[in-house]
Amino acid sequence: MNHTITRVEAYALEVPVDFKWAGSDTRRQASLTYVEVETASGQVGHGMTALAPAPVVAAAINHVARPAILGLDATGHEHAWNVALWALTAPGQTGIGCNALSAIDIALWDIKGKLAGRPVWVLVGGARRRIPAYATCGFSFFDRDQLAEAGRLMCARGYESLKMQVGRPGLDAREDVVDLDKMIGEDIARIRALRDAGGEGVEIAIDGAARLDLDHAADLAARAADLGVAFYEEPIIANDIPAMAALRQRVPQMKIACGQSEGQVSRFRDMIAAHAIDIVQPNVIVGGGFTGAARAAQMASAAGLRVFHGGGATYHNAHLHAGLAQASGIEHQLSSARAAEKIFDGLPEFRDGHLEMTDRPGLGFEIRDGAIGEFAVA
């Protein structure tokens, strides 16, 4: 059977996500890039990336990566990964090129699984079929009452860990005058509301999305730690490694998580070596697909650090966390999960705060008929 890559096609998708839930009536847009890779034998694998401008990533795949990997063996993912890496990124660069590389690598693993008749999570390592999950349900567009109701609803569905967004708007709103101290005060009130709704037995984490400087992140971390917050994800702007290391020194009672937005494996090495983080979060849709994310996870394991999921794309990342023994749980990010449910058929199901993996080959789910036509943008 001929496994030569003969077609690579990427599409920028904009998927509307409606939140008529927990008392909210909000619509958001999920921007993602979907890619298909086809072999001479007709086998098609698909991949995805997000957290970057979808039309730009799609262009990078179609105009830069495609001519570089056409003609390669789709089953030789290490070779294709390196060829695509050098085509898409300058040495040491992170960003758009790494997003494009991630989507391609995921598609190649999908092909490998289909050819082998095994799911990707088994090829990665087959550590567990049932993955514990935490629910990211505390969105910044919720008011306090809606936030509390969202927490109650997810606890009723069997989730013992919840995550909420903090630091919005932060330093990403520089064109406006933002009172960061007032914002942090509101964040603390919102954490209390979620704690009251979930009870003392529920674990709460906070997601900063890299929006604060060191001083304000330390203030929020110290006050949140007093409320029993389990970890603080991406606390500091640009994932500044020395600043995160300083934050751990200032507020040692707060665990720091990072990595979901990192494209280069070397960034994980640097964060670990600097003792800047407690929880390592490789994300397959950003950090080089399964190939790159597994390397980051192995570094974390060697350093004795916890590997945990963040950054959405739950159904893709689930294969990494079901595959690797050192992985400890995935994020059920309600916004990105709802987008995935609109475009894919055959997704695994959450039950009682866990995701049950299937035995279907490859990723185990496929693009829904008509989804590209419905959601593709130029």
Same domain, yes or no: 160 and 112: no
Q: What pLDDT sits at residue 170?
A: 74
Query: Is there a single domain that holds both residue 237 and residue 336?
Result: yes
Domain count, the chain: 2
Instruction: Name the E strands within 143-252.
Output: 161-165, 203-207, 229-233
Distance CA 337, CA 340 (A): 5
Let me know whether 206 and 312 are in one domain: yes
For residues 356 and 240, membership in a common domain is answered with yes
- Give the domain extent around 277: 122-367
Which CATH number does the domain housing residue 142 bear? Answer: 3.20.20.120
Give the chain's residues under pLDDT 50: none
Q: Are residues 217 and 347 in the same domain?
A: yes
Which conformational region is residue 245 in: left (phi greater than 0), alpha (psi within -120 to 50 degrees), or beta?
alpha
User: Given this model, what pLDDT does residue 244 score?
Assistant: 98
Structure tokens at 302: 């060697």
Question: Do 101 and 51 belong to one domain?
Answer: yes
For the chain, the farthest-separated pair of C-alpha atoms sits apart, in whole angstroms, at: 63
Question: Given the structure tokens 């496929």, which residue do they identify?
Answer: 366
Q: How far apart are CA 354 and CA 323, in angstroms?
A: 15
Is the same domain home to 102 and 211? no
CATH number where 53 lies: 3.30.390.10
pLDDT given for residue 93 in this prediction: 73
Determine the pLDDT at residue 174: 59
Q: Please tell me the distance from the alpha carbon of residue 187 to that of residue 193, in angstroms, as a whole number.
A: 10
Is there a single domain that holds both residue 236 and residue 142? yes
Residues 299 and 354 reside in one and the same domain:
yes
134 and 275 fall within a common domain: yes
Same domain, 303 and 361: yes
Count of CB atoms situated within 10 Å of the CB of 59: 16
Q: Do 74 and 155 fall into the same domain?
A: no
pLDDT recorded at residue 95 = 84
Residue 189: count of CB within 10 angstroms of its CB:
10
